[in-house]
């Protein structure tokens, strides 16, 4: 960061100095014509002095138009007095920037004063045009300085987007002219290491899927052979093996979500119909009272398969921990779709409502092992909603249980 600030400071500092010096030189020799005008006026004054010295002041035809003063009537600066003695034309300016010319005649007493003359003013368009060109050059130099920095920032943005979507084939092209080249190289190295870890995780998931299922299958076969000798003990062991299989399935399902977003396609989805379909499945498999209030013609942009998974997990959660009643509500609020799934179960303490969305989190006081589950259902809900720019949070229901609220951006129905 210090290198970036120092580079920007010195670049702007030296650029302003170079532009100012160049502008002053160009303005003096091209934009501002006053020096040439004064040079021409001095030549005219020299010619007039030669004429006056030749014919004399008394014989000059336009003597009345001349302003003749005595050299001693003016308090000259020493350098001006010396210049007059050498026969030079002395120029002075008044408070209005008008100039006057003084020249000493041959008698070394008489001074001819010409003026005051108003110098030719440069056009306002020339003045501001010159400023515009100067600032445009500075802006161009800043663009040249910022271009490598912009390319590196765009590359970092592309790398983070690739990592977020599970694309592990990351290519990097660091720019050695950028002020943040060192930082870019470190982040690119970190991104490559992250991509490598994600690739290793993917291989590990595939290995677990194959290597763990094989011994579990052998255990199930061995338990089946031992069942006649000790049925009760074998039944308990079989339940443990089945639980291990379910855990592996849940872990693999959650791990695969890390690599599913890239292949996920999104369309305009009638969420009202999707929620009603999932409620219909819940009614067929539930022995609890299910109430629902579903607003019609609500659409979202997303993947219907994964959004259905969100609804299934929330409904299964309410089915497990609700006592007698489940309530589902879908409504539209401020261009956002709000889905609420409430139950009359034991609820969730306020200090633990955020932690329930973490993987493998189970509340021992209210979520006992007998109810099933491994603490991955809500983590899957959070992951899928993040792909759809949505979120989920917990509040207390009006039935004193838990209410899981889902918010998604509403989408216009493009099929009309």
Q: Is the pLDDT of residue 255 over 70?
A: no
> Residue 98: what pLDDT?
84
Q: Single out the residue of 209, 205, 194, 127 nearest to residue 159, CA to CA.
A: 194
Q: Which tops the pLDDT comparison, 295 or 190?
A: 295
> Residue 403: what pLDDT?
92
Confidence of residue 333 (pLDDT cuts 50, 70, 90): confident
Confidence of residue 404 (pLDDT cuts 50, 70, 90): very high
- Integer Cα distance of 170 and 192 in angstroms: 7
Q: For the residues 299-320, what does the mean pLDDT come to?
A: 89
Q: Is the pLDDT of residue 45 over 60?
A: yes
Q: Say what percent of the chain tops pLDDT 70.
A: 74
Q: Give every CB contact of residue 346 below 8 A, 6+ residues apart in sequence.
A: 321, 365, 366, 401
Asked if residue 342 lies in contact with residue 326, where contact means CB atoms within 8 angstroms, the answer is yes
Q: Give every CB contact of residue 203 below 8 A, 6+ residues apart in sequence.
A: none
Q: Which tops the pLDDT comparison, 250 or 259?
A: 250
Q: Which tops the pLDDT comparison, 209 or 81?
A: 81
Neighbours of 197 (CB within 10 A): 11
Q: Is the pLDDT of residue 367 over 50?
A: no
Lowest average pLDDT, out of 59-63, 363-367, 370-374, 394-398, goes to 363-367
- Integer Cα distance of 289 and 322 in angstroms: 10
Q: Single out the residue of 341, 349, 344, 345 nearest to residue 403, CA to CA.
A: 341
Q: For the residues 319-324, what does the mean pLDDT come to?
A: 86
Give the tens place of pLDDT for each residue, 166-207.
565 666 665 665 656 666 667 777 777 776 776 676 666 666
Q: Give every CB contact of residue 48 below 8 A, 6+ residues apart in sequence.
A: 103, 112, 114
Confidence of residue 365 (pLDDT cuts 50, 70, 90): very low
Q: Is the pLDDT of residue 273 over 80?
A: yes
Q: Which tops the pLDDT comparison, 147 or 91?
A: 91
- Across the chain, mean pLDDT equals 77
Lowest average pLDDT, out of 104-113, 228-237, 365-374, goes to 365-374
The span from the first CA to the last CA of the chain, in angstroms, equals 53
In this prediction the pTM is 0.51
Q: For the residues 6-22, what does the mean pLDDT come to?
A: 71
> Residue 4: what pLDDT?
59
For each of the domains in the chain, give its residue range(s) and CATH number, in order of start.
Answer: 33-117 (no CATH), 212-257 (no CATH), 267-411 (3.30.565.10)
> Residue 392: what pLDDT?
92
- Quick one: tokens of 185? 């190289």
Q: Is the pLDDT of residue 118 over 70?
A: yes
- Integer Cα distance of 364 and 379 in angstroms: 17
Q: Single out the residue of 341, 305, 295, 302 nearest to residue 321, CA to CA.
A: 341
- Integer Cα distance of 101 and 80 in angstroms: 12
Own/partner pairs, 365-370, CB within 8 angstroms, 24+ separation: 366/321, 367/321
Confidence of residue 342 (pLDDT cuts 50, 70, 90): very high
């Amino acid at each position: 960061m210090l290198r970036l600030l120092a580079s920007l400071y010195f670049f702007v500092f030296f650029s302003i100095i170079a532009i100012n010096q160049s502008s002053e030189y160009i303005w003096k020799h091209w934009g501002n014509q006053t020096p040439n005008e004064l040079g021409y006026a001095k030549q005219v004054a020299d010619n007039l002095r030669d004429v006056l010295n030749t014919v004399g002041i008394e014989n000059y035809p336009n003597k009345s138009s001349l302003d003749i003063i005595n050299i001693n009537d003016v308090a000259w600066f020493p350098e001006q007095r010396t210049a007059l003695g050498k026969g030079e034309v002395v120029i002075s300016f008044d408070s209005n920037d008008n100039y006057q010319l003084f020249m000493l005649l041959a008698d070394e007493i008489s001074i001819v004063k010409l003026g005051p003359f108003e110098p030719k003013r440069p056009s306002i368009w020339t003045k501001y045009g010159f400023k515009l060109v100067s600032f445009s050059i500075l802006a161009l130099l800043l663009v040249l300085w910022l271009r490598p920095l912009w390319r590196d920032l765009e590359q970092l943005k592309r790398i983070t987007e690739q990592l977020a979507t599970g694309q592990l084939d990351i290519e990097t092209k660091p720019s050695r002219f950028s002020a943040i080249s060192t930082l870019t190289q470190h982040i690119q190295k970190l991104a490559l290491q992250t991509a490598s870890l994600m690739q290793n995780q993917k291989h590990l998931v595939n290995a677990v899927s194959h290597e763990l299922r094989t011994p579990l299958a052998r255990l199930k076969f061995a338990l089946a052979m031992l069942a006649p000798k000790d049925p009760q003990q074998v039944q308990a062991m079989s339940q443990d093996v089945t639980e291990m299989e379910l855990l592996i399935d849940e872990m693999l399902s959650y791990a695969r979500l890390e690599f599913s977003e890239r292949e996920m396609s999104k369309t305009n989805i009638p969420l009202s119909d999707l929620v009603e379909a999932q409620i219909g499945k819940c009614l067929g498999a539930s022995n609890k009272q299910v109430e629902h209030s579903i607003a019609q013609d609500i659409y979202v942009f997303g993947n219907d398969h994964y959004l259905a998974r969100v609804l299934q997990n929330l409904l299964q959660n309410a089915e497990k921990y609700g006592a007698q009643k489940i309530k589902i509500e879908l409504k539209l609020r401020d261009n956002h779709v709000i889905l609420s799934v409430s139950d009359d179960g034991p609820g969730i303490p306020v200090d633990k409502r955020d932690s329930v969305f973490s993987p493998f989190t189970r509340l021992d006081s209210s979520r006992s092992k007998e109810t099933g589950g491994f603490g991955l259902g809500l983590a899957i809900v959070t992951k899928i909603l993040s792909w759809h720019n949505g979120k989920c949070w917990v509040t207390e229901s009006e039935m004193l249980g838990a209410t899981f609220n889902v918010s998604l951006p509403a989408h216009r129905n493009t099929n009309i």
